[in-house]
Structure 1
Amino acid sequence: MKDAKQVSLCQKLWARNKYLVLSHSSRIYLEIRQYLKGDQVEVAQVQAMIDQAVSLPENRGQVCNAFQHVWGYFKKKASPAEKAEFLQLLERYQDGQAEQGALAAAVRELLLKYPNRYLQESALVFGGQT
């Protein structure tokens, strides 16, 4: 039987960190998703898996994948110019001509115009684990 409090805490921790994890490792991202479907879940185990992902070196492909997922929250709201600007920044990042922080800053700017509580609590967008 699942411990409702542990499940709730795990879900909150995962919600804050899922795109951060995805930006480091799609494999660990999938492992955490699978773990959370199990009968017994513990916050400490989810945190350990998050820590494992975050300890990996930056992988531009993984980071682009994560920010493409984040872009999905804006694709129906953003103007064509905003879309072009974001996708150009993503391409510049992929080519090593921009830093990951610029992507997070671009998302924060979009959030000022198109608020989204889920993304406003994201560790990927607002830095570090929360």
Structure 2
Amino acid sequence: MNSKEERLQCQKLWAKNKYLILSHSSKIYLEIRTYLKQEEVSIVKVNEFIKQAVSLPEDKGQVTNALHHVWGYFKKFATKEEKDYFFEMIEEYHNNKYKIEDLIKEVKHLLKKYPNKYLEESTFINGG
């Protein structure tokens, strides 16, 4: 694979995994972004970053940050009630009333109503 193809593969891998990574570590998220700006990039290195991020324990603050980014795809379309419910769920997630899976399920519900190919392909929403 030439460096141009490798860069393209790295960018595709990043696009699919960026919210999953963000949900685990904003530090690693920023490290990958910076890494991908380099002249030479490696798919192996990007995969190492991803593995490093997902090996970290669940951090509600990181998950919330990722969910806020995901919400950005719905904010122009969703109703006030949908927004209020989503953010209430996030708040209740911090109180252990909901699990991350419940929030992902709600995102999938919103995606049925407001399709978005980019989010639908995200490993954060649909797993590997």
- Calculate the TM-score normalised by the size of structure 1: 0.95
CA distance in 1 between partners of 2:69 and 2:101 (Å): 16
Q: Structure 2 CA distance, aligned partners of 1:74 and 1:85?
A: 13
Structure 2 match to 1:109? 109
Is 1:75 aligned to residue 75 of structure 2? yes
Question: 1:3: how far off?
Answer: 1.2
**Partners of 1:16 and 1:10 in 2: CA distance:** 10
Task: Tell me the equivalent position of 1:14.
Answer: 14
- Map of 2:120 onto structure 1: 120
User: TM-score, normalization: structure 2?
Assistant: 0.97
Partner Cα separation in structure 2 for residue 51 and residue 111 of structure 1: 27
What count of residue pairs does the alignment treat as equivalent? 127
User: 2: distance between equivalents of 1:52 and 1:10?
Assistant: 16
Aligned counterparts of 1:87 and 1:106: Cα–Cα separation in 2 = 11
Partner amino acid, structure 2, of 1:107: V
Aligned-pair identity (%): 52
Please identify, of 88-97 and 113-122, the stretch whose mean Cα deviation from structure 2 is larger: 88-97
Question: How far apart are 1:96 and its partner, in Å?
Answer: 1.7
Shift of 1:94: 1.7
Deviations 1:104-128 (A, max 9, x none): 100000000100000000111112x
Q: Displacement of 1:12 after TM fit?
A: 0.5
User: Secondary structure in 1 aligned to 2:39?
Assistant: coil
Name the amino acid aligned to 1:121.
Answer: E
Instruction: Give 1:97 deviation, angstroms.
Output: 1.4
Question: Any stretches of 5+ residues in structure 1 without a counterpart?
Answer: none
The runs of at least 4 consecutive aligned structure 1 residues that moved more than 6 Å come to: none
Structure 2 runs not aligned, ≥5 long: none
Query: Superposed, which structure 2 residues align to 1:1-130 within 5 Å?
Result: 3-127=3-127, 130=128
TM-align CA RMSD: 0.9
Structure 1 residue 95 displacement after superposition: 1.9
